[in-house]
Amino acid sequence: MKKTTCTIAAAVATLLAAGSARAQICAGFPIADNQGSVGLLADFPSGVNDFGVEGAFNFRGPFSANAGYIRSEETGAGTGHLDTFRVGAAFDISGYTAGFLPGVSICPNARADFASQDGVDSYLIPVGLGLGVSVPVGSPGMSLSPYVIPAIYFIHLSDGTDSFSDNKFGIRGGADVNVDRFYFGGTIEWINAEGSDAVFGVRAGIKF
């Protein structure tokens, strides 16, 4: 897994040197000022299939917000499922960093995932710093938007009587191919916890 993470980081670093900034790519959404997006996503952790929807809006200025819903279904003989609700926000600081990191979209961002099952509430809150770029590819109107977000993941579980909290380092990222108003791409997320593997996914959406 460490080799995979280093390979992703190296690829993103190469693209950072060649690309140009575009608002809120650093938050994982290839949308410009005063633009929104809606899309579908699917992740494939071991033994589980995740399917969901997500949306984001980049307000005029540095602030953007996003939200999503994910339904996790056990594979094989399992019949259980889990509903996860997600909200997030980012604040673009590229205007302050353009002097020494030209062409790089940078934003502190936070996300909160909430789920409840069998009386146990779980919260997963990554707080990190995202970096992204937009690289023209192919015909006019096409671009590649890679991003990477290293973060501290705050974890909290509670059943109303007992609770558990922990902090872990993690990283998520991906790349989207943009074709005019449409985008599609792949994602990856990994948390440095015992028994935790990288989770790969795909997504596609439309901008408005």
Residue 126 belongs to domain spanning: 2-202
The answer as to whether 208 is a domain residue is: no
| Cα–Cα distance for residue pair 53/48, rounded to 1 Å | 17
Q: Which residues pair with 43 in a beta bridge?
A: 50, 201
Reading the chain (208 residues) residue by residue, the pLDDT tens digits are: 544 445 444 444 444 443 444 458 999 999 999 999 999 999 988 888 899 999 999 999 899 999 999 999 888 665 678 999 999 999 999 989 888 888 899 999 999 999 998 889 999 999 999 999 999 998 888 999 999 999 999 999 999 889 999 999 999 999 999 999 999 999 999 999 887 889 999 999 999 9
The answer as to whether 171 is a domain residue is: yes
The answer as to whether 207 is a domain residue is: no
CATH for 99: 2.40.128
Long-range contacts, 149-154 (Cβ 8 Å, 24+): 149/26, 149/27, 149/28, 149/109, 149/173, 151/126, 151/127, 152/126, 152/127, 152/128, 153/124, 153/125, 153/126, 153/191, 154/123, 154/124, 154/125, 154/126, 154/127
Provide the domain count of the chain: 1
The answer as to whether 63 is a domain residue is: yes
DSSP SS3 for 46: coil
User: Tokens 């872990």 map to which residue?
Assistant: 168
| Residue 59: C-alpha distances to residues 20, 56, 65 (Å) | 20, 10, 8
The answer as to whether 106 is a domain residue is: yes
The answer as to whether 66 is a domain residue is: yes
